[in-house]
Amino acid sequence: MRQSTDNSLTAGGVSPSVRSLRHLVAGQWREGDGDELVDVNPARPRETVAVGRLAQDHDLDRAVAAARDAFPRWAATPHHVRGAILDRAAGILDAHAGQWGEELSWEEGKTRPEGIGEVRRAAEILRYYAGEASRPVGEVFASPRPGEQIQVIHRPVGVVAVVTPFNFPVAIPAWKIAPALGYGNTVVWKPASVVPLLAVRLAEALVEAGLPEGVLSLLIGDGILGGRLVEHPGVDAVTFTGSTSAGRGLIAACGRLARPVQAEMGGKNAAVVLADADLGLAAGEVLAGAFRSSGQKCTATSRLVVAEPVADEFLALLTKRATALRVGDPLAEGTEMGPVISLQARDGIQQAVDAAAARPGTDVLTGGRPYDDDRMTGAFLPPTVIELTGEDPLWREELFGPVLAVRRAADASEALALADDGDFGLSAAVFTDDLRAVTAAVERLDVGILHINSETAGADPHVPFGGAKQSGYGPKEQGRAARDFFTRTKTVYLRGSGGRER
């Protein structure tokens, strides 16, 4: 059943009509009866995007009960049938990419091209997992005993709790929900409550594609409801993306319950520019990694190590390009960077920048000060590049905003050591054509994702995604790696009876 809303768009972007929010519970779209939820535009916080009411504990109980009831039937549904539903949902996302992408920009703050691109990326992810139906579903091993075959098959785990963040309100849910459903699990999903509209859109696409009742429930709730979902006795596994602090609490809770958990957490990703790098290429990639999506990516470039012989030249080039970025309304033509998610986030990031700028030896190369024009009423921050002379909290703490901390290194060895220094290990980038430096980076950098001559951000759906150290816990996401979390193996020893004795 489709949600009834006013979906009209104007030439200048999304119309001012306010959308209504509903929950998908046990196959039915329902109004919430909890506290009021007002979804606002971070570029103009007085502008309302959507309104609704939060889900309650009774909604959670009903959703989990429906998921448990639907699981045996969904798991028994042929994989190709499940895949066909994902494929149809991908087509719906593609058909609505322009409209829903603009809504994403309105709600979350990405530029219009980024919003549309994210909706299309979600469709790509659904299609990848639709294709899993035609890939091998297990393995056959030789047996040391005559007349026997050993099979290893994959079976769904059951009811999966999905908890997702604000920064990719369609793509991250898609890369969790698509494999969960494709491999035969049922899902209860709690998105970030600051981006509820795009969650409704993804659920709408799946329902319209023919997803049976109870297989997916969407609950728009607060963090307390998310905690109750994670610990609900009817849940079999939990997949989460969010902050490291929240992730640690979730991991501890699942540990007490002996419940499988997959957690993708924070990042403080470094780009390393060595003396032989193509500086023009490196500047463009570092700029994109640091400031695209307003730096609100777990894979964003938030640290830069530059070799001393090229530091002055490179930083002058990078600073010039960063200063020229067009920051403003994400739905306006030509905007290159929109706001961060909220005024609260803006103020917290600015406080961290102010504290760093006040410390001796710190040099703010560009940005660093709040806007004093009409952008001051929105959640806007300027692209900021700050050079540090030594240890600083800005080098270690994740800000999740458009702030790039810079340090210089005497040589490649020191540069890689600085890049690897920290608690996080999600992504890194190294700019060089020196094969020895590339080999050293592969061996030395303890990260889940390493880019050579490209930005730290980016995640293709057919390869594993996830981090090392405090950036990730449990099996990786995406690609065939997702099967390690969303299925359990069953080892079958298969031997013929040899016939009945007469």
Q: Among all residues, which ones are annotated catalytic?
A: 264, 298
With a CB cutoff of 8 Å and minimum separation 6, the contacts of 394 are 352, 353, 356, 386, 388, 403, 405
CA distance 186 to 358: 51
DSSP character string of 374-389: GGGGTT----EEEE-S
CA distance 73 to 331: 43
- Classify burial at 207, counting beta carbons within 10 Å of its beta carbon; exposed 0-12, middle 13-18, buried 19 or more: buried
> CA torsion sign, 22 to 28 to 33 to 35?
negative
> CA torsion sign, 476 to 480 to 485 to 491?
negative
SS3 assignment, position 51: strand
CA distances from 110 to 118, 291, 300, 335, 385 (A): 10, 11, 14, 10, 20
With a CB cutoff of 8 Å and minimum separation 6, the contacts of 261 are 237, 238, 239, 240, 250, 251, 254, 255, 473, 474
CA distance 250 to 414: 36
